[in-house]
Amino acid sequence: MNLLKKGRPRVLNQLRERRLIQAAKHRIGISQRKLARRFHVGKTTVFETLSRHNVLFRKRRKAPKYTDAQLGRIPRCCRALRRVHFANKLIVMDNKKYFTLANSEMKENDGFYTDDHANVPNDVRVKSEKKFEDKMLILLHAIIRESQGIGDGYGANNINFVPKVDNPPNLPQARPIEDF
């Protein structure tokens, strides 16, 4: 016996719902607002559809980009810091935050949607970033050139400092000075 259909019709049919889920899974820079505009539905519909299929928003982990030369220099420089320059002293390294021009700092690239966190590709799960972007290196290099005589002033006032040769590159594992 065919009964009349009652209730409100679904906004997304099965095909459009499947396409919505595929458009959200394992993508960087996708937001519920963008998906709502793309599929001509409300943000609430997108949220309920993703929640019903257990597709959750996850934050991306930050990991620095290392070159092979940097990976080789880090253990040597850390040993030199501990043994030669700062024997019996507490090491405090200043880890400044710089404004980068890459897209890794943009808020919309901060996370991704997935239903199975174990099977997410590493380029989606981990946000690799350089400590100094290329354009920032030019600016910092110009500042260092102008201040070549700073090391002489440190030596004259008995201030301990680490020479540039023994300074480990891109070392986020050290505690920043702001944590003290």
Q: What confidence tens digit (pLDDT) does each residue in 100-148 have?
A: 555 555 666 677 788 887 888 877 877 766 666 554 443 343 344 444 5
d(C-alpha 47, C-alpha 43), whole Å: 6
pTM of the predicted protein model:
0.48
Residue span of the structural domain in which 145 resides: 60-111+130-179
Domains of the chain: total: 1
Task: Indicate whether 44 belongs to any domain.
Answer: no
Token pair in block for residue 156:
């004259």
Task: Indicate whether 105 belongs to any domain.
Answer: yes
Task: Indicate whether 36 belongs to any domain.
Answer: no
Note the maximum CA span of the chain.
98
pLDDT (tens digit, 9 = 90+) per residue, 7-35? 888 889 999 999 999 999 988 888 999 99
